[in-house]
Amino acid sequence: MKNEHTVLIDKNLCISCGLCVKDCVSSALELKNNKAEVIAQDCIKCGHCVAICPKSAVSMTGFEDEPEKLVPEIKVDANALMHQLKGRRTMRRFTTQDVSPEMIAQVIEAGRYTPSGTNRQTVSYVVLRKNIDVYEKIALSLFRRVKWIVDIFTNKFNRTHIDDHFFFKKAPVAIVIKSTDMLDGALAASSMELMAQSLGLGVLYSGLFTYTARVSRKLKKKLSVSSGEKVITTLVLGYPAVKYQRTAQKERPVILFD
């Protein structure tokens, strides 16, 4: 985590239920004199103690927003979610309609609330919108020079025409996801794609732009990729210009039961 956070307990509100103590993964809380007490601040600051307390006696400093009250009645319908997962398609044709800043914020918010290992929260985002063409031109300049190397390892792009919109397909927005941990960044991207779909947007994982951004010093500098960070993936967003009528078939999974 980038900032310092301190766990606080209001003993006037604490009812000694012990829920926060039992749920603390770091064993940083205990009951003393029938009140919850913080015995160490070196926990992972996961916020479980804040979330589980029935009386809001536990709080954590250093955050801009307050915890939201959960409403048990609001849940995602399992059948609707499965239908959305089955119906998703990689979008390579977009309309000219712009994506609003509010929608972009919602997509990033989905990434922000995605779990990360030991609550590291190392995922960051670069929104390419106003200057999206500048980044695409830089990537194209390099990729056109090294495409022959790509062709050595795969023939999937032999017949692909590399035009001026090869990476972003004329979409209005691309979000570059960076992190020091591959899994954290990939999980965030998955949540962001689900949110984008729920907002009616199409999504393209631009793997070749991601590859180019990893090897281009110029792109890494423009994307502010810091030491230890890596470009994990790039989500290209826009309104779909095509409508798919059915799901695509998938092979059966390999499952072992022990």
Which tens digit of pLDDT belongs to each residue from 36-95? 999 999 999 999 999 999 999 999 999 999 999 988 777 889 999 999 999 999 999 999
Please state which of the ranges 24-33, 47-56, 153-162, 248-257 shows the lowest mean pLDDT: 153-162
d(CA 172, CA 96): 7
User: 153 and 37 in one domain?
Assistant: no
Domain residue limits at 23? 7-60
* 232 in any annotated domain: yes
DSSP state of 65: S
Q: Is the pLDDT at 155 greater than 90, yes or no?
A: no
* 71 in any annotated domain: no
d(CA 73, CA 234): 34
* 123 in any annotated domain: yes
Both structure tokens of 168: 């972003």
d(CA 106, CA 151): 38
Q: What is the CATH number of the domain that holds 52?
A: 3.30.70.20
Q: Kindly give the residue spans of alpha helices, DSSP state H, lying in 117-223.
A: 132-153, 182-198, 207-215, 217-222
* 67 in any annotated domain: no
pTM: 0.90
Q: What is the CATH number of the domain that holds 184?
A: 3.40.109.10
196 CB-near residues (< 8 Å, 6+ apart)? 103, 107, 202, 203, 235, 237
Q: Which residues pair with 1 in a beta bridge?
A: none
Both structure tokens of 136: 């695409």
